[in-house]
Chains A and B, each alone.
Chain A
Amino acid sequence: MKARVHVMLKNGVLDPQGEAVRHALGSLGFEGVSGVRQGKVIDLDLAEGTSEETVREMCEKLLANTVIESYSVELI
């Protein structure tokens, strides 16, 4: 089985890389992009039967820094 983890900076934490991407889109002529937030997608290959709770524990302990980042888990 597989799980996909999305890690994003929390709302309210300024994302300087996302801002740079937004400016670059503007200079390429794409108008109306009012915000860009950049995050990470982490795909995990897991032993069958691994619980979502275990994946959440992985997020809490390593995959996300919950001081500044939020995460979501998708079992696929």
Chain B
Amino acid sequence: MKAAILVFPGSNCDRDLQVAFERAGADVTMVWHKDDALPAGTDIVGVPGGFSYGDYLRCGAIAANSPITRSLKTHVERGGYALGICNGFQILTETRILPGALLRNAGLKYICRTVPLNVRTSDSDFTRGWAAGTELQIPIAHHDGNYQADAELLRELEGEDRIAFTYNDNPNGSSGDVAGVLSANRRVLGMMPHPERAADEALGGSDGRAMFTSLMTALVSA
């Protein structure tokens, strides 16, 4: 599996994501935002957390218009995989690769703690390592993680089984307790919680590791 991780000015979870992919056996290349092409043969693009461009204008808005993001869009349109975590999720909604938007947390505070998540579907290469209904302990660290979806969009996401994760105890006001959503072809996942920060027992937990091993299984022959 070849993974490319995008690095924007202000990204700060890029190295964590790199380690999580490498531990699962992936061949990882870091790609600077000013590059305009992804490495040949990229199977999956990781869009990491952080504060790209200082969250200016809106979280993810400037990164969504970076040169490398155009290549990301082409990659996704061709059926390529992408995983956006935290600021990465915000970037994926700003590019309209994923539906909805992320607003300031309902309680207005930055929240940094480990929260219980529910796996809502195992029908994706990101979540196949868990049974639906599994509870995971995964850290969140965000100020703008309040997922906004109107009733119609929520119905559509539920009807198509595209809600990957929900919060057990909604920390940020997200519509429908949504913590992560899949694209229609189930090959793009955006989520606010950080599975890459829960991929090593020595660093506080490994509940997120199955995401990377399950991607590896799916993409190793791709």
Contacts and interface: CB of A to CB of B under 8 A. Distances in A.
Interface of A: 9, 12-14, 16-17, 20, 61-63, 65, 67-68
Looking at A17, A62, A65, the one whose CB has the most chain B CB atoms below 10 A away is: A65
A16 B101 contact: no
Interface of B: 57-58, 61, 65, 93-94, 96, 99-101, 103-108, 146, 148, 150, 173
A16 B148 contact: no
A61 B64 CA distance: 10
Contacts of B94: 65
A57 to B, nearest CB: 13
B148 A67 contact: yes
Main secondary structure of the interface of B (DSSP, over half): loop
Nearest to B100: A67
9 contacts: A9-B103, A16-B107, A61-B65, A62-B61, A65-B61, A67-B93, A67-B99, A67-B148, A68-B101
Contacts of A20: 108
A17 B101 contact: no
Nearest to A9: B103
A14 B101 contact: no
B103 A13 contact: yes
B89 to A, nearest CB: 14
Contact of B101 (A61, A62, A63, A65): A65
Contact of A16 (B57, B58, B65, B103): B103
Looking at B108, B146, B148, the one whose CB has the most chain A CB atoms below 10 A away is: B148
Listed from nearest, the 9 A-B pairs whose CB atoms lie closest are A67-B101, A68-B101, A16-B106, A16-B104, A16-B108, A68-B148, A20-B108, A65-B101, A65-B58
